[in-house]
Amino acid sequence: MVITPIHYIFVPLVAAFAIPLLSKINKELPRIIPGFVLFYNIIISIVLMQQVNEFGYVSEVIAGWKAPWGINLIITPFSGFLVSLISVLGFLIWMYGYRFKQVIDRGELRTYNILQMMMITGAIGIIITGDIFNLFVFLEIVAITAVSLTAFYRERDGAEAGFKYLLIGGFASSLILLAILILYTQVGTLNMAEIADRMHTVPSGIKATILILFIVGFGIEAELFPLNGWVPDAYSQAPGPTSTAFAGIVAKAGVYGLIRIIFTLFDIDGAYDFLITAGLITMIVAEAAALKQTNLKRMLAYSSIGQMGLALVAFGIGTKEAVFAAMFLLFNHAVIKSLLFMTGSILMYNSKDKTINSIKGIYKKLPIISLLFALGAFAIVGLPPFSGFWSKLYILTAAADKNMIFLIVTILAVSIVEIVYYFRVIGKLYFAEDENVIEIHKPTPQAFVAMAVLGVTIIVVGFNPDLVTGYFHNAADILLDKASYIKYVLNVESVIQ
């Protein structure tokens, strides 16, 4: 069997439909099948990444309709990197969540597993599709599954968080639909490469309108201020593995959507300045809000928003170095923030009232989890020698190359704020007297393995950043080379067939 990009979408969909039937046979199957599917995603990623390294692009034409007419899936080095990251994270999150839930009834277990798998599939779909309307459809798949997962626990305030998310998301999706509509009247095509090719014929006023509508729409998934009101609520109310997936997977897909639209479709200078401004505001507001949080997961959520802001700033600088640094940051954020959410969820689960104060001295009972949390915290604030240090350093040097002093000062100032609130948690964790007398729920061995893999990645990449930097340099070059993307999609048939 030849592995092609469509397997990313096809296999999980078939599995999602099969799970309700198969769960009649054995009630363990809904837990196990997503694991196989997500592991298969990793295999697809490995095969496709080899082809990407060889040819530069991999694309697939669906149902025999060639690129401008039909829907095509395209994997560039940038999207290939994100898809592989998401596949690996998806599998690790599955391992982590395998027995995370206490035994809940069969129906809920089924829903949870199907929704979680479909959310990952939707995120992958956003990244690999080459058709703007298809992008919208996948965005909706992500939105609906994410909302349902947010409202998963009946006893929490999940429904409220979910409704907020749905309202913002539904409104945004209407705006994206409107943007696609206006775009279609102007260029008469839905294929992203062809849109990019014809974009210069569109009057600049209309161009700006479309761009604003798109930015608002994707800014919601990318956690852009002020569209991120749903983020802290959804992250704190969703089940632990799901908030991990929000940070590691959904946010990445949103950023990808924004970047693809700004870099490939619209190439106007104002957009880059906008990215820098929006990113800076997002970063400052989020880190300031994180400082005053008492709930650990909310704090992590705000920190996640701040990191996404930093990534957008780096993309907005727009030079090759900066784009490279932004990709590195996306990689680091996915790995580190996933680790933080995984360990943080376990710490919260074992604390008395889910606040930062109630985890005092818990390290005696959960030494390894506490150590991994501390490792993640050190890495995300950018202490050497962990991987977070390198991406921050590269962003700062890229900003210095363009003499953006204000940017450098702000990023450093925000880093200090980050250090303050992360170290406050670590201080409570390690150096405060233990007040809790509660029963400790140890995480499962699978969860330990998942977290250990992430922890080892942080350290290994921290000591050897060269392992990944070469690839990101190449990916940044190709992302900025819009012409080759257009040429590849419109002229050449699939490499695979």
Per CB under 8 A, residues contacting another protein are 133, 137, 140, 143-144, 147-148, 151, 154, 157, 159-164, 166-167, 170-171, 173-174, 177-178, 180-181, 184-185, 190, 232-233, 236-237, 289
Burial class (CB in 10 A: 0-12, 13-18, 19+), 324: buried
Burial class (CB in 10 A: 0-12, 13-18, 19+), 225: buried
CB of residue 201 to another protein, shortest distance in Å: 17
Residue nearer to another protein on the CB measure, 154 or 200: 154
Residue nearer to another protein on the CB measure, 301 or 342: 301
CB of residue 166 to another protein, shortest distance in Å: 5
Angle at 317 between CA 288 and CA 136, to 5 degrees: 80
Residue nearer to another protein on the CB measure, 12 or 169: 169
CB of residue 291 to another protein, shortest distance in Å: 12
Residue nearer to another protein on the CB measure, 166 or 330: 166
CB of residue 143 to another protein, shortest distance in Å: 8
CB of residue 164 to another protein, shortest distance in Å: 8
CB of residue 303 to another protein, shortest distance in Å: 15
Any long-range contacts for 399-404 (C-beta under 8 Å, 24+ apart)? 399/317, 399/322, 401/319, 401/321, 402/317, 402/319, 402/322, 404/317
Residue nearer to another protein on the CB measure, 147 or 192: 147
Cα distance between residue 497 and residue 487, in whole Å:
18
CB of residue 16 to another protein, shortest distance in Å: 14
CB of residue 340 to another protein, shortest distance in Å: 21
CB of residue 189 to another protein, shortest distance in Å: 9
Residue-wise over 416-451: b if at least 16 C-beta within 10 A, else e?
ebbbebbeebeebbeeeeeeeeeeeeebeebbbebb
In this structure, are residues 273 and 311 in contact, taking their beta carbons and an 8 Å threshold?
no
In this structure, are residues 113 and 143 in contact, taking their beta carbons and an 8 Å threshold?
no
Residue nearer to another protein on the CB measure, 170 or 427: 170
Tokens matching residue 156 = 């929490």
Cα distance between residue 108 and residue 31, in whole Å:
11
In this structure, are residues 479 and 125 in contact, taking their beta carbons and an 8 Å threshold?
no
In this structure, are residues 361 and 439 in contact, taking their beta carbons and an 8 Å threshold?
no
Residue nearer to another protein on the CB measure, 173 or 370: 173
Cα distance between residue 95 and residue 50, in whole Å:
26
Residue nearer to another protein on the CB measure, 91 or 235: 235
Cα distance between residue 497 and residue 486, in whole Å:
20
In this structure, are residues 217 and 179 in contact, taking their beta carbons and an 8 Å threshold?
yes
DSSP for 24-74, written as a single string:
TT-TTHHHHHHHHHHHHHHHHHHHHHHHHHHHS-EEEEGGG--TTTS-EEE
Residue nearer to another protein on the CB measure, 213 or 334: 213
Residue nearer to another protein on the CB measure, 116 or 237: 237
CB of residue 268 to another protein, shortest distance in Å: 24
